[in-house]
Amino acid sequence: MGENPAKSHYAQLNQGEENEMEIFGYKTQGCRKALCIAGYILSCGALLLLFYWKPEWDVWANCIRCSLEEADIVLLRTTDEFRTYSRKTVTWISVSALIESRSDYPATAEEDSIFSKAIMKPSLQVKSIQVQKIRYVWNIYAKEFQKVGALEDHHTCSAIHAKFGSGLTCNEQNVRSVICGPNTIDVPVIPVWKLLIKEVLNPFYVFQLFSVCLWFAEDYMEYATAIIIMSLLSIFLTVYDLRQQSIKLHRLVESHNNIMVTVCRNKEGFQELESHHLVPGDTLVLKEGKTLLPCDAILISGQCVVNESMLTGESIPVTKTHLPQADNFKPWRMHCAEDYKKHVLFCGTEVIQTKADDRGIVKAVVLRTGFNTAKGDLVRSILYPKPMNFKLYRDALRFLMCLIAFAAIGMIYAVCVFALNGEEAGEVVKKALDVITIAVPPALPAALTTGIIYTQRRLKKKGIFCISPQRINMCGQLNLICFDKTGTLTEDGLDLWGLLPSERNCFQDIHNFPVDRSLPWGPAFRAMAVCHSLIVWQGKIQGDPLDVKMFEATNWVIDDSSGHQIEGQGSTHATVVRPGPKASSAPVEGITILHQFPFSSALQRMSVIAQEIGGEQQIFTKGAPEMVAMLCRAETVPSNFENKLLLYTAQGFRVIGLACKSLQAGKQSTDLTREEVESDLTFLGLLIMENRLKRETKPVLEELSAARIRSVMVTGDNIQTAVTVAKNAGMISPTNRVILVEANQIPGSLSASITWKPLEENKTEDYRSLEDDSQTERRIRLALESGQYHFAMSGKSYQMVTQHFRHLLPKLLLNGTVFARMSPGQKSSLVEEFQKLDYFVGMCGDGANDCGALKVAHAGISLSEQEASVASPFTSRTPSIACVPELIREGRAALVTSFCMFKYMALYSTIQYLGVLLLYWQLNSFGNYQFLFQDLAITTVIGVTMSFTGAYPKLVPYRPPSQLVSPPLLLSVVLNILFSLSMQIFGFVAVQQQPWYSRTDIHSACLSMNNHMENYSSISSLGLHGIRGEALEQTDNGYKSYENTTVWLLSTINCLIVALVFSKGKPFRQPIYTNYVFILVLIGQLGICLFLVFADIDDLYSKMDLVCTPTMWRISMVIMLAVTLAVSFLVEEAVIENRPLWLLLKKTFQYHSKSHYKRLQRVLEQDSAWPPLNETFFSDSVAISVEGNMGGHSNPTFDSNEDAL
């Protein structure tokens, strides 16, 4: 083969993507397979079950390693910390029927496409695998598996127009169709039998089955039957739930799996076909009227308006423009940078309107099909959710391992005791195995999830939907929330406040809205009338709220009725705006919008080419004032531009810059590139909009601040506006200083500079932004020394810092509060950087441009109208940030509930285990109904009702512990185990010391009392003894003894004590008495238990395998229990829950949190030179040393080492 065999055996799939995997090649070997089959038969299927749980063992046992080229089986392993394995069989696709002759072969597809590189000659077959619904084919030349179903990324803009503009031939289309598979997002409804088998083969139920078989062998008939009924009920409920989810998902995707579409065929004209036949490279023709898109496609001619609410949760129509015909060598996606989405129509979205250009039809090239599309990706993320690595679940597994080790000790003890007493080997094995079923609580996984299910229900009632329930516990750990500004902290709609026109590089008088007279006709008015992407849909003007407000101020209307003749361009469908009935007189009949360059977050601007009816063509641009001013000719920008901008932004206004230029005659508007259009503009003025804070913003941020949860603003708006909003909202308190961090590339060199400037208030009339006098300097220094400062930086500076000043980034993030002019990509990156500092990050945004950040954060909360916005785990139906503290409260309560359940389940199984081991000493055990009563009447009912306790309404300034192995929690479990053990041993030993105790005669106690009371003769006493003895002997099944009665009653009521002590109330959950159901259950159970202690009903005692004891002994048992309750309660309150005590211990032993950000805080407190003020650093000249503990961040995205108490 010539290659390193080890290298060719292994490769990476989807490198650098979210679903990255490692792939290994294997070949099935006959003799190995035969041995495995023999193993299956001999082990009665146990080996097969093991291979089902561990697919990698199956592959290693059945196959031998080989290169991926020769492999017929591949083993896949995820690259995350879970390293999950899966096994896939390699399949062969034949295309020989489609390629009649060898000469016909090259025409099947272009030479550089994956389709031509995957077909093996001479067999004309393609080797493929299917992973998580996506097909990969073997590239013969690159010797690797590559994704099909998507157009290759290497095509340039001009190549897409040239190669695919006129469509594929029928033959090319057929070959591609066979290799890619159908263009459907098919989620079949999983048959019930499949779901049942999958559920039954869960290790938890297999363990249940093992336990049940064992109990039947030991004659625990009733108990085993009860457990079978419960397990079946649980299985059916789970299967029903999964089936409903499957049906729901199937319905979600089936709507557009098959619709009729029109495609261009090379040399054959147009063809109508069903959408499942579409392949990457096909050219779609988009007709007028509404259409659902069956695939992702790149628009190559014309313009579309699309409703993308299904993907982003935003119901604002989005304008899509065609891909430019740029002649360069950059792949199209790199050429369009972050704006490539403006040319892509996504699957599942709805085209509301199409506008043809001079070429007459609207065409799009199919980019991705099936599960490769945006919608397919979403469906796959629901079908294959990312596993959550939360400490609680890891600790739970470790804890189970400890219990198993604990059980192993008990098994050895049981074997020794029973074997030494000469029991039969079969009995010894049964008793030893019984210990495992007692020590490992089979209901543990179910108990842990009940709390989360109840929390999810409570959240739903409050209008918060959750598609990833595991993240609820994580919300309890959040200590930093990033907020988007517009629509999240501030009102969605903006109000127009004023227009500041500029003429001949001077600002004119401001025009206020709505008080002043109507706007005078002029270039600024024209810009407001046409520079937008509004459409008329369902009789209403729809689009960006800012655009709507701006256009409404002109009193013009949109005439969207028909195609309009434009000189020299033939007929085209264009938007025309005309003066409305209320408009002031204008010298024109209307203005036609010929072409749009839509708004882009990355470019921070939008432009249109418009033409007055009967007049010349003009270009209008609007966007971030700094950006617009840069694109204008310097002589048209007023000299006091920056001062004026600062004046308005510092008051919290949103400011938009306007500019225009005339287009030279004879230039075709469709041939112009965006760069040509947006250059040498004339500055027209500033549009000033008011963006009011939402009513609930300030109280919510104050509540978070009081709970010591950091708030950070991440916005696309101007930095000064953002800082003002942050101050008004209470993110930055009035006494705190704001330091502006600016990082810039040094022109003509590869290095960069970074500057720290204090941002001062508007205190003087001439509005000086940066004061330099010594008094201010001193005042600022004082504020800095007390740690009361905040950094503010723009997206551009953030980008520079990540590239050139990586070592400063953690320090800047530690006090960074305002991040302005951030692009969607930078928002995601910022969230990840915060996570590297060990923060638990929540992100709250309103959809589209926050999608990435919402997905990356530990808890993404989308304020969207849609019931479940696709991007985020949580969606709030009410678009208000009041859902954030609500979610944190519920998360904390759910986390504490999980810990309570854990401690309770651990103690219940330990109490039962200790009781059984004590009785083993006398070759005894608990009876059938005794086990049944403890497991069903006590534990199951408590397990279900304990989690009903709601969240505490006040957020306290600390978080619950994030891990099970925190010292308070472990101490609590260990101490309570010791209390239980002491009480049970004391009861076990004390009962044997009683004068009435007899090991063989289980009726001696009550009889001896009767003798004293009724003074019977010895003969009658003997006779009575005989009769009673005989009657009872018939029902005695060997479990009855004084020790059994004592230990069972003590351990049963001990379970109730533990449940009460562990049911935490404040500070994270409401007091326990508010959980009425739980309190009633406990009182009811306690009543029954006390009745069993004091009742003396022969039939009942006989059924429960209890024996009669003197009243004094019963009272003694109650006293023992009361003492245990008092001690346990006292220890839990005075030691375990005593936060000041643990903080003192931390201080005494100098324990410091291991979290990166805490360590960095301690370092910076000692650093008097931080933050530097009015200083500039250069990236190449000053290399600042990085703290040792800050080097090489790992990204513990779902992990924190913080031992918060």
Classify strands 556-559 and 564-566 as parallel, antiparallel or unpaired.
unpaired
Across the chain, which distance is largest between two alpha carbons, in Å? Answer: 132
Residues 6+ apart with CB under 8 A from 86: 55, 75, 76, 131
Axis crossing angle, helix 192-200 with helix 221-254, rounded to the nearest 10: 130
DSSP 3-state assignment of 1079?
helix
Residue 1121 neighbours by CB distance under 10 Å: 22
CA–CA distances in Å: residue 140 to residues 70, 106, 128, 457, 853: 12, 16, 12, 53, 38
Catalytic residue among 296, 357, 484, 838: 484
Residues 6+ apart with CB under 8 A from 287: 262, 354
Instruction: Please give the distance of CA 489 from its chain centroid, rounded to a whole number.
Output: 22
Rounded distance, CA 708 to CA 701, Å?
10
Cis peptide before 953 (omega within 30 of 0): no
Contacts 24+ apart (CB under 8 A), 1110-1113: 1110/994, 1110/996, 1110/1005, 1110/1006, 1110/1009, 1113/991, 1113/994, 1113/1005, 1113/1046
Amino acid letter, residue 1076: Y
Closest CA relative to residue 793, chosen from 745, 733, 740: 740
Q: Which residue intervals of 636-750 are DSSP H helices?
A: 641-649, 674-677, 697-706, 719-729
Instruction: Provide DSSP, 523-549.
Output: HHHHHHHHSS--EEETTEEES-HHHHH
Is 1180 annotated as catalytic?
no
DSSP 3-state assignment of 737?
strand
Degrees, nearest 5: CA angle 829-834-835? 95
Residues 6+ apart with CB under 8 A from 1009: 996, 1110
Rounded distance, CA 610 to CA 591, Å?
7
Q: How many residues does the chain have?
A: 1205
Closest CA relative to residue 311, chosen from 874, 870, 856, 879: 870
Residue 91 neighbours by CB distance under 10 Å: 12
DSSP 3-state assignment of 167?
coil
Rounded distance, CA 463 to CA 954, Å?
20
Q: Which residue intervals of 921-998 are DSSP H helices?
A: 928-932, 941-945, 967-993
CB-side neighbour CA atoms (13 Å) of 1002: 25
DSSP 3-state assignment of 1070?
coil
Instruction: Please give the distance of CA 393 from its chain centroid, rounded to a whole number.
Output: 16
Residues 6+ apart with CB under 8 A from 363: 165, 264, 283, 284, 285, 286, 299, 300, 301, 302
Catalytic residues: 484
